[in-house]
């Protein structure tokens, strides 16, 4: 009944002049966490504008975000797989310092426990190689990390729908969906800046999604 109601709402939205925007996303994993960071910024470090950058530019609560595509989450036959691979975007903020870039990740299974026909609990351990940069520096640097991930995962195959005053989402989901916790140790080096972090956070997997987002034409014009 809910799916029928949303479909009716979507048709009404189209009839009223709303714009359909088709989309497709791969199986993804997003991780958000915080922890402790030790930054080493030499007194001689300088920004692109030539201004000295010192340790006072780092402080506050650090935040770590990862958003990546994990293609092996597409097959129900691979829910019990012994390894995982992914590529994505990483962002670290610490006070005024903002470090972001791309990563490639390889993880190996430490254990998989069957919870149902298409559901498992599993633990992975692995590492990332990163190409990263600071917003105020002209060159890119490098980074590495070691991660342990414990998660509950189920294989999804069905409709996904939601609606609010901003629009209507109608999609089909196919792939792994799950939630877990992760712990990570990382090191980055951008020119003569170095940072070492210990992070704990939440990890969420989403399946492949193919669908349409229906939004008001007026909202698109405002953007």
Give 168-216 pLDDT, tens digit per residue.
888 999 999 999 999 999 999 998 888 899 999 999 999 999 999 888 6
Residues 61-110: tens digit of each pLDDT: 789 999 999 999 999 999 999 999 999 999 999 878 889 999 999 999 99
Nearest Cα neighbor of 55 from 96, 103, 10, 14 is: 96
The alpha carbon of 111 is separated from its chain's Cα centroid by a whole number of angstroms, namely 23
Domain that holds residue 62: 2-222
Query: Can you tell me the mean pLDDT for 120-136?
Result: 95
The alpha carbon of 137 is separated from its chain's Cα centroid by a whole number of angstroms, namely 24
Kindly tell me if the per-residue pLDDT of 163 is higher than 80.
no
Q: Is 44 exposed, middle or buried (0-12, 13-18, 19+ CB in 10 A)?
A: exposed
Structure tokens at 52: 């000295």
pLDDT recorded at residue 60:
67
Kindly tell me if the per-residue pLDDT of 49 is higher than 90.
no
Nearest Cα neighbor of 194 from 35, 39, 36, 37 is: 39
* Residues 26 and 86 sit within 8 Å (Cβ to Cβ): no
Kindly tell me if the per-residue pLDDT of 55 is higher than 90.
no
pTM: 0.81
Range with lowest mean pLDDT among 16-20, 107-111, 142-146: 16-20
Q: For the chain, how many structural domains are there in total?
A: 1
Strands (E), the chain: 19-25, 28-40, 63-69, 83-94, 97-114, 119-134, 140-164, 167-190, 193-206, 208-215
pLDDT recorded at residue 10:
52
69-to-51, 155, 193 alpha-carbon distances in Å: 37, 16, 29
Owner of token pair 């809910």: 2
Query: Can you tell me the mean pLDDT for 7-25?
Result: 68
Give me the phi and psi of 116, to 5 degrees please. Answer: -170, -170
């Amino acid at each position: 009944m809910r799916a029928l109601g949303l479909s009716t709402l979507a048709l009404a939205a189209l009839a009223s002049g709303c714009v359909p925007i088709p989309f497709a996303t791969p199986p993804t994993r997003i991780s958000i966490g915080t922890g402790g960071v030790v930054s080493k910024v030499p007194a001689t470090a300088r920004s692109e504008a030539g201004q000295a950058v010192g340790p006072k530019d780092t402080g506050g609560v650090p935040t770590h975000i990862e958003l990546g595509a994990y293609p092996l989450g597409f097959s129900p036959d691979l829910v019990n797989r012994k390894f995982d691979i992914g590529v994505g975007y990483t962002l670290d903020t610490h006070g005024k310092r903002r470090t972001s870039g791309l990563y490639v990740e390889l993880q190996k299974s430490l254990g998989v426990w069957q919870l149902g026909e298409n559901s498992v609990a599993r633990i992975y351990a692995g590492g990332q190689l990163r190409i990263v940069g600071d917003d105020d520096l002209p060159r890119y640097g490098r980074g590495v990390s070691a991660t342990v991930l414990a998660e509950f995962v189920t294989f999804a195959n069905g409709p996904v729908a939601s609606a609010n005053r901003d629009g209507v989402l109608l999609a089909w989901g196919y792939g792994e969906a799950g939630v877990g916790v992760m712990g990570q140790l990382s090191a980055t080096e951008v020119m003569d800046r170095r940072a070492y972090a210990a992070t704990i956070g939440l990890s969420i997997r989403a399946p492949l999604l193919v669908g349409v987002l229906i939004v008001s034409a007026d909202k698109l014009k405002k953007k």
